[in-house]
Amino acid sequence: MTFSIDTENMLTRQAAETRSTLVSNTSYTLELTLKEHAAEYRGRCRVAFDFHRDGTDHLKLDFITRQIHSVTLNGRATEEYLKGDFAIYLNEDHLTEGRNTLEITYTSLFDNTGSGFHKFHDPEDNEEYMHTDFEPYDAHCLFPCFDQPDIKASYQLTVNGPSKWTYIHNTLPEHTQTNDDEVTIAFKRTPLFSTYLFALVVGPYTRWEERYKQIPLGIYCRKSLAKYMDQDNIFAITREAMATLVDYFDYPYPYDKYDQVFVPEFNFGAMENVGCVTFSEHYIFRNKKLYSEHLNRANTITHEMVHMWFGDLVTMKWWNDLWLNESFADYLSYFAMSKGKLFSDALEHMYARKEWAYQQDQYATTHPIAASARDTIEAFSNFDGISYSKGASVLRQLQYYIGDEAFRASIGHYFKRFAEQNTTLDDFLSIMSENSGIDIVAWSHQWLETTGVNTLLSRIEDGRLMIEQQGSANNNLIRQHAIEFTGYRQSNGALIENETKKIIIDGKTAEAPLKPDTAFVILNTHDHDYVKVFYSNDAIAIARRSMHTIEDPFARRLVWGSLWQMVRDNALVPTEFIRMGIELGLKEKDLSILNSHIIAKIKAIVSVYLTDDNRAIWMPRLNTMARERLALPENSEEEQIIWFGLLLETALLSDELDHLHALVTGAESIASLVIDQEKRWNIIARLMAYGHAEAETLFSNEKELDKSDLGLKKAFLVQASRPDSAEKETCWQAFTEPSSRSTDFLRYGMKGFHWRTQKDILAPYVDRYFEAVEKIYTERDVHYTEAFGQLLFPHWDQTRKMLHTIEAFLDEKDKKGDEPPALLRKKLIEQADDLKRILPILEKQQAEVRLKG
């Protein structure tokens, strides 16, 4: 065979398109044998497929394994294949035109990256847990396959293993045979779906069962966390979501059961495996959480359920149309929740999530919603704020533009026409155009196939609303926007809703008549549009006096979101936002707004957008305010959690740190606030980082008290936080050298490594980051590189020198023709873009100090 064996674990779009012309009608029969306390497992996989000759000299099956024991092709043992690190290759001459069967027996190692076939050891009870996670390109870590979304297949799985373990797959068991301590479970053959949606979860899981009509529902978590599981709430969310989606989609749930499994060391929030959704254990709440955190969990549950239709039943042909999965799941999860009783304000919280899209869309690395994906590495990079949050926002705009009935009918027809198939952008556009009677292609050119976010500015002039649309920063593109606006009149110091109207903005300017007494206008009421809204100084002055009097919490949330975007765009002085936040935060009735749009943004400003001099001024002021608020006996527990977060993150001076020490030791207490395990670790980490005299004693005691896996990881975070050069070096070696530690464990250490107050100790790690980062991105998996690239970047070094260092690193690579890994290039460009945004804000503050001086 004359071809090149892959040297990277990736699949190109071109190779996938070629292979899909060669292979069809695929099925897998897989048998796995698992043992306790083993580093490896045995597998036997039979792949049946139709092969079409076209002159290609080889056929590639993606496969990572430690050892292949035997290969049988069409009933005959063979050694006529080539094995690479990431695939095996069959000579076309040995394949039959038409039906072929390939059987491989092998031994593979478990993974510790959170993906592939991940194995976890629970230090609390010495139990073992395994789970698969394959998106976008990891199914071949478990079995040989055509690992691409458009070669759908059915799967018949048999597992042999200890009888004390639970085995969870995409389908229900068909036959179970127990022999002493061993069990063999044969699962029903699955319907057709893509390889990345295959699931197997193993371990001594605790199970809870219910039903939705005839559909079995299961919830699972490991034994040591079962005491924290609030299964009744999760079942209630699941039933409500299922009822809403089945009705709205006008298409029944497509599979025979629905399991939700909370698995250890998961890299994402959740994964939509067919009938077997896996979730991060962060969604098992071990302590009191805010309403917004409960809503976010409910949204993730609903998001993954939407995927059973959008993504699992109907799947994008290739990863450039990832948005056909994620944008729909992101939007329709919030939309479905808003139709239910449990979280009817969900669309307000979708607006908070949209900040992710605005940030991503203003990077030089932004991409269209209908993106490019030359290979699976680029596909992974597209799991971002564009494919999720911007896509969701644009779909909400489309629904508002064409009307809900046309939007809903299109979705139902989409499932009926393309069930168990793969689709592209054109398929979506044709369905929407048919059902709406509107040319959606032109809409797509504006919204799905371009980049950037527009900004709207408005003023009131002679009884009319005057709107100006600014083009997207990188391409100056002007789009058509369908929005609502709401006008308010002033009455006795309050803003009273006066009128709400729909308007189409189709150009650089638009205008609409207002009632004569309208004095303040909010654009994009109810957030139907994907656009930024900026306010004039006069409008900000009105908001500062009276925003708290606006009855509609969604309207107040929109104003705060706009003010935050103005801070990021250097259109509003950060300290002015803090002052407004202090004044109006004390009057804000909605705790979700207080937390996500006021306190969280104040903390971000203190961390990122203030000079050291201004930080030294504002942190004590904010700490004092937080302490005063925490002293109010009438506060709810949720209020106390919010103010405690501000207290913790602004503790700087010795008396402030002493107060934290008193709280963690119990010498002092705060009414309605429990200093739970999470808060204890967070306090100890801060005390350690700031060199508090009692930090080491607290740390030593806490390690003895908390022996859980999370306790061990938090301890590593505290260890990495030590203001000690030798400790930093030890941790750096752990991050950069091969390790038996899991990615998740090392990720916690990375979170504790950088502290702004440790600049002198951390200074050498600026150069060392750039010396190590390319090797990390070249040799480690995508989840580890993402953690290393983001968490170990020296964010505290907000200087022109750092910006120059990034640009020089990339320029040198370009001059040498030494292209860095694509994910690394993207990460560094985004770090540079962040600095280009931050530095002018800091320099303006420095200039003001010089003028005053």
Closest CA to 131 of 199, 197, 190: 199
Residues 6+ apart with CB under 8 A from 852: none
831 in Cβ contact with 793 (< 8 Å): yes
Rounded CA-CA distance 449/170 in Å is 35
**Rounded to the nearest 10 degrees, how much is the dihedral formed by the CA atoms of 514, 520, 521, 525?**
-120
R_g (Cα) of the chain, nearest Å: 28
Q: What are the structure tokens assigned to 741, written together?
A: 């530690």
Closest CA to 517 of 551, 487, 494, 486: 487
774 in Cβ contact with 812 (< 8 Å): no
Q: Count CB atoms within 10 A of the CB of residue 835.
A: 21
169 in Cβ contact with 157 (< 8 Å): yes
Contacts 24+ apart (CB under 8 A), 137-140: 137/9, 137/10, 137/11, 137/62, 137/196, 137/376, 137/379, 137/380, 138/196, 139/62, 139/195, 139/196, 139/198, 140/61, 140/62, 140/63, 140/64, 140/86, 140/87, 140/195
Rounded CA-CA distance 319/194 in Å is 12
255 in Cβ contact with 110 (< 8 Å): no
545 in Cβ contact with 414 (< 8 Å): no
406 in Cβ contact with 436 (< 8 Å): yes
Rounded CA-CA distance 660/654 in Å is 10
Rounded CA-CA distance 159/47 in Å is 17
Q: Where are the alpha helices (DSSP H) in 780-852?
A: 782-791, 800-816, 822-852
Rounded CA-CA distance 504/50 in Å is 52
Question: Three-state DSSP class for 572?
Answer: coil
Q: Is 68 exposed, middle or buried (0-12, 13-18, 19+ CB in 10 A)?
A: middle
* 304 labelled catalytic: yes
Active-site residue among 265, 304, 348, 588? 304
| Angle separating helix axes 654-665 and 677-689, nearest 10 degrees | 150
HEC sequence for 472-528 = CCCCCCCCEEEEEEEEEEEECCEEEEEEEEEEEEECCEEEEECCCCCCEEEECHHHC
CA contacts within 13 A on the Cβ side of 761:
20
Active site residues: 304
